[in-house]
Chain A
Amino acid sequence: MSARFIGGKVLGSLATLLFVVCFNFFLFRVVETDPVASLYRGHNLTQTQRAKLTEEFGLDKSKGAQFVSYLKETATLNLGRSYTTNQPVWQEIKDKAGATIALVGISAVLSAVFGIMLGIAAAWRRRTKADYSITAFTMATYSMPEFWLGMILLTFFAVVLGWFPVGGIEDPSSTATGLAKLPDQARHMFLPALTLTLAYLGEYAIVMRSSLLETMREDYLVLARAKGLRDVLVRNRHAVPNALLPVVALLAINFGFVLSGAIAIEAIFSWPGLGLATYEALKGPDLPMLQGMFLVFSASVIFFNLVADLLYGYLDPRVRPT
């Protein structure tokens, strides 16, 4: 994989990131023409108070100047202050990112792994009961709202059966510190991770299945068998690497969905991450927080797209420039 290919992809991602940053500005400043008025809805501001606040928010400058200072601030990670907690948005993000990274990271990996395995199983046992039940199962999970699944699992396994905690990341009364917290945290993460995994493995399974079915008809598999390879090796060395390609392309898109799904799931399970922060920011609406979240979510997806693009380029020589 040449430096030119990698460089091209990285540059493309940076361009997209820049677009998102600019878009973020226009989204809030242009659509929301008077933040002061909407923020202090319900309060009766005097002219002087209004003028002072306007100056404080930098809204007295021209739109162009606002845009420039916005770019400067974003570059230095000054994303404003939360309307509700009055903490810097970037601080809030740093505090809560870890919980979300853990939850989304594990769920994204598990949904990919199990989805791919189910897809391979379904394709290999095509037109049998196993295939039909796997397909039915994956279509059902693919069509259900993930937060509904979360509510069901929460009610049944936590409230009714009491096997898992009802919410949060750790037992508030626990005195454990450092690594000793992990088992407790894992127990708390089980249900939300299970929900996200189940909700998003469906598409992997469907895509892997159809991709493998198409690959199994290809001529190079006949050639591989003719060479004397055992069926298992034909499948694993020739069929699966080719069949995985569309799935790798899916990784990037699906990551965006898992991340977005975390918003509702963290709300349901009271998981103290970026998703829950977004959910609470909606109540205000805490616009600086929302703006910051939008930026962080978009940047993560762009980064992950880049990784998936590079991975795809590594696996499929046909997309690289010769």
Chain B
Amino acid sequence: MSAVAAPSARRIAWIRRRRALSRAWGQFRHHTPGMIGLGILVAAVLMAIAAPLLADEAGLRAINVTHNPTFANPSEFGPLGTDSLGRDVMTQFIWGARTSLLVGLAATILAILIGSIVGITAGFYGGKIGGVLMRITEWFLVIPFLPLAIVLAAILGPSVKNIILVIGITSWPSTARLIAAQVLTLRERDYVDRSRALGASNWHLMTRHIVPNVSPLILANTTLTVPIVILSEATLSFLGLGDPTNPSWGKMLDDAFETGAVTAEAWWVFIPPGLGILLVALAFTLCGTALEEILDPRLRDRNK
């Protein structure tokens, strides 16, 4: 008789999962572009969180800055100059990061949630239900995103909540299609058949077998959806559909355009927010590409 009891099945699963995670992290660490992306993201998130410490929120309101020079370039008023109303660009940039990141993450989560549920359901049940769901997904994929988002935003009205909603419910189709395809292949695997022979219910199969195996794909897809969402939020804000009281990088660009920063050659007003969007979107793309390479089920199958 052994002195130590054998570990339970659940504990073994946990140990394996932790080991797989640390292996994945080890691989990620050697992926230079992915690490650069991660670094940028950490910096951006820290900056957003620390916004109250870094810049005075009062500086966002035009009323408080009537004494400031307008369109002052960085050498006159630093570090990034002022806009058409005299507001400090740096303050807007720091506070704008919050909105962009928040909307980016919230809308992505919403889109991924809807997309995953639709995808898993369609892929798992197949047949009529799956067919109908996939047909609806295809239709939504064909409808161009921006016109649809514009129409929805125009109808619902400008607010942060509505922007999150609009982007979320227009971005789920590509996730759904990707996940449905993956679930379809998983469903054909032997262990699903065996589980069923043992009497497993559909719910058990979905939660214990399908979802854990589809999670890596969902994670990689999430990371690659965020840049699309961030760019969408920027575009919608630029078109004037964002919350007018909320500073966001897209709104900064809208203001810059509307108030003639272009003709005034006031590059310091629109370069920073665009650069911010670019860097954050790029960072997520780099991380997502790295994750994809690490988690690609095709590569995993080849190694099995």
Contacts and interface: CB of A to CB of B under 8 A. Distances in A.
A294 B262 contact: no
A48 B154 CA distance: 28
A301 B141 CA distance: 10
A160 B150 CA distance: 33
B102 interface: no
Contacts of B267: 152, 155
A268 interface: yes
Given A140-B278, A144-B277, A159-B262, A278 B150 contact: yes
B227 interface: yes
A262 B20 CA distance: 45
Nearest to A281: B154
A135 to B, nearest CB: 9
B277 A256 contact: no
Contacts of A147: 235, 238, 253, 257
Contacts of B257: 147, 151, 267-268
B139 interface: yes
A154 to B, nearest CB: 6
Contacts of A291: 151
A294 B142 contact: no
A19 B139 contact: yes
B282 A145 contact: no
Interface string B226-265: 0100010011001111000000001001001100001101
B155 A31 contact: yes
Contact of B277 (A16, A145, A264, A283): A145
A268 B263 CA distance: 11
A202 B299 CA distance: 25
Main secondary structure of the interface of A (DSSP, over half): helix
B191 interface: no
A147 to B, nearest CB: 6
A114 interface: no
Nearest to A148: B274
Contacts of A76: none
A151 B231 CA distance: 16
A20 B143 contact: yes
Given A143-B285, A268-B257, A256 B262 contact: no
A14 to B, nearest CB: 12
Nearest to B283: A143
A90 interface: no
Interface in A172-228: none
Contacts of B240: 282-283
A115 B87 CA distance: 40
B33 to A, nearest CB: 9
Nearest to A141: B278
Q: Which of A152, A260, A268 has the most CB of B within 10 A?
A: A260
A145 B143 contact: no
B144 A259 contact: yes
Contacts of B142: 16, 20, 256, 298, 301-302, 305
Interface in A94-139: 139
A143 B274 contact: no
A32 B155 contact: yes
B265 A155 contact: yes
Interface centre among B139, B151, B277, by most A CB within 10 Å?
B151
A51 B261 CA distance: 46
Contacts of B134: none
Interface string B145-178: 1111011101110000000000000000000000
A119 B249 CA distance: 31
A293 B274 contact: no
A143 B278 contact: yes
Contacts of A282: 150, 154, 239-241
B281 interface: yes
Nearest to B250: A145
B270 A294 contact: no
Contacts of B253: 145, 147-148, 151
Nearest to B277: A145
A285 B273 CA distance: 27
A27 interface: yes
B271 interface: yes
A71 interface: no
Given A147-B238, A298-B142, A302-B142, A142 B285 contact: yes
Top 3 nearest A-B pairs (CB, nearest first) are A148-B274, A260-B146, A143-B281
Interface of A: 16, 19-20, 23, 27-28, 31-32, 139-140, 142-145, 147-149, 151-152, 154-155, 159-160, 166, 256-257, 259-261, 263-264, 267-268, 278-279, 282-283, 285, 287, 290-291, 293-294, 297-298, 301-302, 305
Given A147-B238, A155-B262, 19 more contacts: A23-B143, A27-B152, A31-B155, A142-B285, A143-B227, A143-B231, A145-B231, A151-B270, A159-B262, A256-B144, A259-B144, A261-B146, A263-B146, A263-B150, A282-B241, A285-B154, A285-B155, A294-B151, A298-B144
